[in-house]
């Protein structure tokens, strides 16, 4: 059975389908010695090269993997930064086939849950607006917040790139008399700085923003900032279901891998993060 070239490349973990379409248009992909064009379908035995480098045999299945990363403020969601600033890819484990792809982005001042996968099709499916995968954020805003404002944010507010709304808003108790207010908000899309821009449209300022959930995956409370864990097969398949993909049948996790972080693992992660931070400052 043949597949579209951009799908094969995405499944190999090289990038999203959209990225692969651009690479094909730019002439960076060849099939059986000829520069490929958009719309080309390939067979498992076809020889594919990316920038002159051979792609592994298509019939060698790559196991779908997903990492949970607790992003600190100050890290960029880029592979490399011309100014040498820290990026979310710096401390991820090395991968033999393909590369880690970030599922969505968080801006430099936002912390919390960031998912990575080696499956470009899964990443694209989880990010695509048509799938309406829910994201949840804990947000601290400064300014006067009343019920009328919360009603507007749930009904929909106009931004420069269209209307946006929260699907739910939950106020944290105990801060009614303060000018700083904590809320948990959810929305089903991931436009650039959308949560911040929605609150700013109501003339209040976001002073903290933490993503705490993506789909059914919640940020592990004991996972240190800058730390990562690989998700078990059941959780991976929950994400694949959200993206309307067939379940994965294999995992690279060992049977005795712990589902919950213990003190030893947490301490080891914190030491590794501190060591990395010191190295970056030098």
Contact 183, 172 (CB under 8 A): yes
Residues involved in catalysis: 107
Q: DSSP label at 64?
A: P
* Residue 19: half-sphere exposure toward Cβ, Cα within 13 Å: 15
Residues with Cβ within 8 Å of 245's Cβ and at least 6 positions away in sequence, in order, are 121, 122, 125
Instruction: Identify the CA nearest to 4 among candidates 29, 40, 35, 56.
Output: 40
Contact 9, 101 (CB under 8 A): no
**205-214 vs 135-142, strand pairing mode:** antiparallel
């Amino acid at each position: 059975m043949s597949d579209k070239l951009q799908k094969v490349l995405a499944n190999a973990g090289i990038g999203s389908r959209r990225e692969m379409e651009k690479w094909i248009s730019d002439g960076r992909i060849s099939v059986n010695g000829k520069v490929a064009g958009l719309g080309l379908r390939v067979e498992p035995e076809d020889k594919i090269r990316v920038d002159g480098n051979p792609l592994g045999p298509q019939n060698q299945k790559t196991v779908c993997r997903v990492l949970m990363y607790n992003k600190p403020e100050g890290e960029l969601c880029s592979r490399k930064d011309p100014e040498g600033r820290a990026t979310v890819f710096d401390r991820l484990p090395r991968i033999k086939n393909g590369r880690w792809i970030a599922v969505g982005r968080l801006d430099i001042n936002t912390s919390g849950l960031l998912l990575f996968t080696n499956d470009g099709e899964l990443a694209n499916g989880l990010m695509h607006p048509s799938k309406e995968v829910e994201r949840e954020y804990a947000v601290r805003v400064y300014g006067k917040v009343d019920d009328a404002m919360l009603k507007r944010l749930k009904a929909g507010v106009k931004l420069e790139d269209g209307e946006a709304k929260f699907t739910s808003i939950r106020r944290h108790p105990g801060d009614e008399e303060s000018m700083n207010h904590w809320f948990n908000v959810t929305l089903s899309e991931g436009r650039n700085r959308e949560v911040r821009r929605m609150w700013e449209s109501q003339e209040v300022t976001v002073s903290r923003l933490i993503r705490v959930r993506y789909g059914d995956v919640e940020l592990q409370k004991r996972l240190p900032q800058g730390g990562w864990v690989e998700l078990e097969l059941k959780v991976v398949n929950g994400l694949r279901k959200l993206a309307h993909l067939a379940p994965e049948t294999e995992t690279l996790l060992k049977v005795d891998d712990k589902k919950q972080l213990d003190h030893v693992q947490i301490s080891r992660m914190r030491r590794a993060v501190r060591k990395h931070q010191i190295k970056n400052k030098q």
